[in-house]
Chains A and B, each alone.
Chain A
Amino acid sequence: MSETQIEINHVSKVFKGSEQEVVALKDIHFSIPSGQFVCLLGPSGCGKSTLLNAIAGFSLPSQGEINVDGKLILEPGPDRGMVFQEYALFPWMTVEENIVFGLKIKKEDPAKVEQKLADLLRMLKLSDFRKRFPKDLSGGMRQRVAIARVLALDPPIMLMDEPFGALDALTRRSLQDELLKIWSELKKTIVFVTHSIEESIYLADRIIVMSYRPGTVKKDLCVEIPRPRNPSDADFNKLKRELSEMVMAEQTRFEQAQLLGSTGD
């Protein structure tokens, strides 16, 4: 593998509520080499989105630090493109205006912007929808636009927060395949948050299972199954069983905590 790109250095995150403190992340420590596809897997409340937001620079760790390419993360930046579950497209902009938003900020040469836009529209099969507003698109289409918008800035790292969580199973599978294609063609580092065990095995080089409160790394494993992976294969299912036990144990703790009314969210 190539050199370390994201270095998460003994990171903790504490949210101070009105009544109690919630330890969302506790002493997370691992690093991600460039070009790796990493899934953060765990039930709700395990801090996987908190960790992703910390890497994105939206909310900084309470303790410890995160370095990307040797530089300390203090704020969001276009080198770490974020794809949100809720798409977060700007509804007042057309598809093409959304995609070129970041390029316009960088004051790219208009001819170059036009070229890049055409490439992205083709790559994500959006050419017929370039003048549409997001409200006229399906969930799957919207997420393609969100991916194109991030890819426009050609970030070395893509951060994805349950991007396909709201999509139906078929749309999800086809977007997963496209994401894998983009990843292998463009050699991005991807940190992908999900609570779907199958999705994580289908996509990732490496799965990091997180525990429910405090969020810690419960298991860090590499997926050795060759791609394209088939969810009905024996290897796939063996790993799925293994991970299910782990994740369900955390899910049970999450549910018990909810019954006791001690969750913050």
Chain B
Amino acid sequence: MTGTGFLSKIKGVWVPTLVVIAWEVVVRLGWVNPQVLPAPSAVLIRWYQYLLPLEPYDPQTSSRWAWVFSGELVRDLFESFYRVMLGFLIGGGLALPLGLLMGASRTIYDYLNPLIQVLRPIPPIAYIPLAILWFGLGNPPAVFLIALGAFFPVLMNTIVGVRAVDSIYIRAAKNLGAGPVLMFRKVIVPAAMPYILSGVRIGIGTGFICMIVAEMIAVNNGLGYRILEAREYFWSDKIIAGMFSIGLLGLAIDTVVSYLNNYLLRWHRGLDS
């Protein structure tokens, strides 16, 4: 970092600002069709409308807070967030214990690994026809796909993490009198935690992609559905507003996971700054 003034602190602002200005100018000058690429100002206005409540405020039927959060965007954000969390919790929740078992026991690993190696390369998206056939439309197939997307990254990382536990910790714990259950809870799981958490991060990311795709196909709300719906009406400004909303939700989730990661691994050498 050179310089400590205000101007040097906002270095990262210049390029995006220039891009937005250029974009606005190009549309205003009529160089591109605004139906194809709307001006950023139009996107911003549309975004604001998308955020606003649909009905006027009526104290008879709802409270102030419920009204503020009754806009379409807020509901879509909530629906999408709920789906990705539920799917991740199911997928990760199944993968974690299975991964711990497969990492700890060679026998269990040998029984299950071939099946996993066959299923793992199939992208979760390829399960869409089957998911709809099995679960119909709505939340169930979407959650199924998200869970599938989160499952394998968490599973594979947990297996590797348990296997990578340095045997000296196990010897030290045995020497101090630890039995198998305590060994697992207090030694193996914490030692494998850096790997497990990187699996969680990848798993949420994959689940997030699956969430958008599933919403485009199987559900009629959520951010993925909304941008596909906007395309049908040729609302390109709303498509772009929706895309930025998706990006912000993804960023928010990743930031929270990253904080969690840093907190749980505060003992870890790699985080020395």
A residues lining the B interface (CB < 8 Å):
56, 58, 75-78, 80-82, 84, 86, 88-93, 101-102, 105-106, 133-135, 149-150, 153
Contact = CB atoms under 8 A, between A and B. Distances in A.
A91 B268 contact: yes
A82 B177 contact: no
Contact of B171 (A58, A77, A78, A149): A58
B169 interface: yes
B190 A102 contact: no
Contacts of B178: 101, 105
A81 B175 CA distance: 6
A105 B187 CA distance: 13
Contacts, number: 67
A134 B272 CA distance: 12
A256 to B, nearest CB: 31
B177 A105 contact: yes
B248 interface: no
Interface of B is mostly: helix
Interface string B161-198: 00000001101111111110010001100110100000
B233 interface: no
Contacts of A149: 176
A77 B187 contact: no
Nearest to A134: B267
B123 to A, nearest CB: 35
Given A58-B171, A76-B171, A84-B168, A91 B267 contact: yes
A153 B190 contact: no
Contact of B176 (A58, A105, A133, A134): A105
Contacts of B176: 78, 81, 101-102, 105, 149-150, 153
Given A88-B168, A135-B267, A82 B175 contact: yes
A223 B193 CA distance: 48
Contacts of A105: 176-179, 182
Contacts of A150: 176
Interface in B177-227: 177-179, 182, 186-187, 190-191, 193
A81 B171 CA distance: 11
Contacts of A86: 168
Contact of A135 (B173, B175, B190, B268): B268
19 contacts: A58-B175, A75-B174, A78-B177, A80-B175, A82-B171, A88-B169, A90-B173, A91-B269, A92-B190, A92-B193, A102-B177, A105-B176, A105-B182, A133-B267, A134-B267, A135-B267, A135-B268, A135-B272, A150-B176
A169 B57 CA distance: 77
B64 interface: no
Given A76-B171, A84-B171, A90-B173, 15 more contacts: A58-B175, A78-B175, A78-B177, A84-B168, A84-B172, A90-B172, A90-B186, A91-B267, A101-B176, A101-B178, A102-B177, A105-B176, A135-B267, A149-B176, A153-B177
Nearest to B176: A102
Contacts of B175: 56, 58, 76-78, 80-82
B28 interface: no
Contacts of A84: 168, 171-172
Nearest to B187: A90
A174 B177 CA distance: 29
Contacts of B267: 91-93, 133-135
A88 to B, nearest CB: 4
B231 interface: no
Interface string B114-134: 000000000000000000000
